[in-house]
Copies of this chain bind each other. A is one copy, B any other.
Amino acid sequence: MRIKVIIPNTSGEFRNAQVEHRKGVAHPGTVVDVVSLPHGPVSIESAADEARAAPYLVEEVCRAAAEGYDAVTVDCAADVALRAVKEIADIPVVSAGEAAFLVAMAIGDRFGVITVLPATAAVIGQNIRAMGLTQRCACVRAVEVPVLDLDTCPGVEERVYQECQQAITADGADVIVLGCTGMARLARRLAERLPVPVVEPGAAAVKLAELMVILRLRPSRRAYPRPAPKQVR
């Protein structure tokens, strides 16, 4: 099985830091390729970033089937262009935020999301409402560290840990969903320190994509009708 992990930003460093985390959870027989976008913002932290990345992401997803991939994951907890990528793919496409929320609901009652910036939190909060899952979400919190500083800013683990604790104690979260795939390297340590499970969206998406391939499931054409070819200027 071949899975294409598409990071919808244009930062090579970000991509390099994710590769091992995505490959590490795949089954031995699964080939995982991790790619970034050729154009668009260097990171996704707002709806404006999403708007600017959207057409390039759609194009990248379009190519996947022709390239021989069995499935695609969109490696972003903010679920960029979530409907569009399901409309245009002929193969399973799994988005990291959505995958993580679904997995979290199987092990807890109300998940808390810890993400990067307030704008990102607002986007994720609305995504969850659009999915009809508000009742199952305890909170969406921001650590106020930009995506590309997550690996370099001192004390990031501690700040994420503190927000997780607040989500649990003040908001009643019983599962934590990391709200940025750039936090993948923190997942293991946080899971050890916190009294609740921690779901890392990038890994959840890879595993859910494998599941979809084995179960022969793809986005419903009734829910996501395939757009007719159309002139784009």
Contact = CB atoms under 8 A, between A and B. Distances in A.
A193 interface: no
B175 A197 contact: no
Interface string A103-122: 10111111000000111001
Given A227-B45, A230-B41, A132 B136 contact: yes
Interface string A88-106: 1000101000110011011
B232 A217 contact: no
For chain A, give the interface size range.
35 or more
A128 B53 CA distance: 24
Contacts of A27: 27, 29, 214
A41 B130 contact: no
A225 B29 contact: no
Given A25-B214, A27-B27, A220-B196, A48 B84 contact: yes
A191 interface: yes
A86 B107 CA distance: 8
Most buried by B among A48, A82, A133, A224: A48
Given A28-B29, A105-B102, A135-B134, A223 B43 contact: no
Contacts of A186: none
A42 B223 contact: no
A230 B49 contact: yes
A215 B211 CA distance: 13
Contacts of A119: 87, 224-225, 227
B223 A108 contact: yes
Interface string A128-168: 01111111100000000010000000000000000000001
A218 interface: yes
13 contacts: A40-B232, A41-B232, A47-B81, A47-B87, A48-B58, A51-B57, A52-B58, A92-B107, A98-B106, A107-B220, A107-B223, A207-B210, A210-B211
